[in-house]
């Protein structure tokens, strides 16, 4: 069986999320592919969706789609509206601002945002 190695143009280092009072290392920065998300299981059983945009900026939001309850936001499509980066849910296509967690299609809905350190 053949294996493939994914190489990105970004440097090595780690991605850490603020979780409680600590910083939790969730993956190596070099494993993130620009424009694609990764789901991360947190110690408390919750999930985060981690993204790197094409400019190399890393974001993390809750992975649960509040409209369906499914943990799928890490599989969404990245885009931008008015200069604001967002992920569109793969199910019903609502857009969530990656910096604030606000739903761009329903101002009463949002998802959690995690502070990120990526070196």
pLDDT score for 6: 39
pLDDT score for 119: 87
Residue 114 pLDDT more than 50? yes
Structure tokens at 98: 């990656």
Residue-wise pLDDT tens digits, 47-102: 999 999 988 999 999 999 999 999 999 999 999 998 889 999 999 999 999 999 99
Q: Which residues contact 100 (CB under 8 A, 6 or more apart)?
A: 110, 113
Sheet holding 116-118, edge to edge: 22-28, 14-19, 116-118
pLDDT score for 9: 44
Q: Which residues contact 60 (CB under 8 A, 6 or more apart)?
A: 15, 17, 26, 40, 48, 49, 50, 51, 113, 114, 116
pLDDT band at 11 (very low <50, low <70, confident <90, very high): low
* 118 close to 15: Cβ distance less than 8 angstroms: yes
pLDDT score for 5: 37
Residue-wise pLDDT tens digits, 27-47: 999 999 999 999 999 999 999
């Amino acid at each position: 069986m053949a294996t493939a190695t994914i190489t990105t143009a970004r440097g090595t280092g780690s991605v850490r999320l603020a979780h409680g009072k600590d910083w939790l290392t969730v993956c190596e920065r070099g494993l993130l592919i620009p424009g694609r998300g990764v789901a991360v299981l947190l110690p408390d059983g919750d999930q985060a969706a981690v993204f790197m945009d094409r400019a190399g900026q890393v974001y993390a939001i809750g992975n649960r789609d509040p409209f369906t309850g499914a943990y799928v936001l890490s599989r969404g499509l990245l885009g931008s509206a008015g200069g604001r980066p967002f992920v569109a849910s793969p199910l019903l296509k609502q857009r969530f601002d990656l910096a604030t967690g606000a739903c761009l299609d329903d101002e009463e809905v949002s998802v959690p945002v995690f502070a990120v350190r990526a070196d």
